Structure 1
Amino acid sequence: MDRDTRIEADLTSSRGQVVTIGGVPFQATTVVKAVEEVVRSIELRNATAYRLANAYCVVRADEDRNYRSILCGPGVNFPDGKPVAKLVSRQVEYGTQQIRGADLFKGVLDAGRSIGIRHYFIGTTDETLTSLIKNIERLYPGVKVAGCYAPEFAPLESMNLTAMIDAASGSQADFIWVALGTPKQDHVGLALASATGVSTAAVGAAFDFLAGTVREAPCCMQRLGLEWLYRLIQDPRRLWRRYLIGNLQFLWIVGRASVISRYRSVAGHAR
């Protein structure tokens, strides 16, 4: 068995069970295994779009057919957010964890040093990207940065996707990180993976956290599943609707899906 065949076999065997939450498929895994999978996909250059999907993503997918097609299409959805992670863990027989974008980001940056992975960063602002790269090079000596690109802030339909593709393609990057906010970053991540042949990951606020422009929730709040509350307090004007209304919508969507599943199960047994 040659090296690529062995890596591909390892990648296939390491992928966890896929569990559907509110109509969205999630891969049950742990942070360590998620990092290993991403690194293997980079070695294979199989152009996978990785998404860190949470309760808000499920709500948006329920409202937006185009976004639902992204989450249910090519790529992998890791369970980001305690509610989704807990629901996933209830449906599998082995341990699974919440896969935070920041944890995946730092894990792959660290693991990629030993094999020379070249990273490209798309999102936020020029100032944030400068701070991000400075901190990455300080925290992860030997890390390779292929480049970065800060697109103008605009709705998805007005973004210059061609410019992003051209910039990333010309950088000789092995992996592209995207931080444009949900759902924009998931559309862009998939488009970049398809156009460049390079795997991508949409990691939300991970750039801001590592750049030091936004503070992460304390570990105790993360463990208690209260990171959303910490972020809401930091930016209530932007996030109040997502968390206060969106969380209720998520519970409704999950409850509705459960009722439909039980009805179909009962109807199937009655035949």
Structure 2
Amino acid sequence: MFQKDKYITMPWGHRRFSLPLLTILLLINFACNLPSLTVTPSDSPRATDLTSPPSESTRTSIPLSPTRTAHSNPTSVVERTPALLPTSIPPTLVVSLDDLLATCPTEEEIERFQIDFDIFIDPEVGLPPYSCEDTNPRLAIYQALRAMSALYFDQPLPWTSYSLYDWLRGAVSGIVLRATEISYCCDDQNRIVLKSELLSQPSYSSWYDPQSGIGLMDLVGLIVHEARHAEIGGHTCGNSDDATLDEMGAWGVQHYYFLWMAEHTPPGLLTPTQREAAITHAETALGRICNP
């Protein structure tokens, strides 16, 4: 015989419940009132992972400034080589610009210039082939680039954190010699166009010729002027002047180029006469700014 279930009468009513059923109801009520637990998936990051440095695969690479290679389209943009030098550190220490320009460019230097810039001579100009002789237009270009590479200062240039040469590399793709009335920037391949007959001047065989009052420093000043146009556009005061010095237009950077050459190059790099000429050229450029 089976024993009958025992019943209990609850105080809030007359219904009776069996003891096994009451036990089940109490267990269910207890389980429903337990504190909730959050289950963390096994693939969630641990707390310590949140402060760990990102892996190499997740880091964002910083694009480098643009440059050109020997076999690429001159207008194409590729990564600049990471070996950029601050303005205050020259690629090769040059004690005197006069001593540098008294020597011929090496084959390695010429190859470097042709890699960094698209140097184009318009065949219609009929210029003589390259030779390391005074008045050779190609020599003037190479010597100007050698000087730009050798110039270094005790403070960064006001318009760029790069050296003068590396800034030029980023601003334009090349230099063209062409029979034109004026030098200008730029052709459809972002190359400076220089008036070819200017580069045959005997004065360009030295950094500064006291008799003529000009020299290779003026050719570099012209290159700096035109390259700045490639970055910010044309003049802002009339057709040929800049409105302010602060806008760092073509005349502004030409002014600072000469000023930095006079006041921020190491002793011995320039002669006192060359420094005085640079100050004069800086003042001339400043005079082309309407509200300096």
* TM-score normalized with structure 1 length: 0.26
Higher helix fraction (1 or 2): 1
Q: Bigger relative contact order, structure 1 or 2, given CA contacts below 8 A and separation 6+?
A: 1
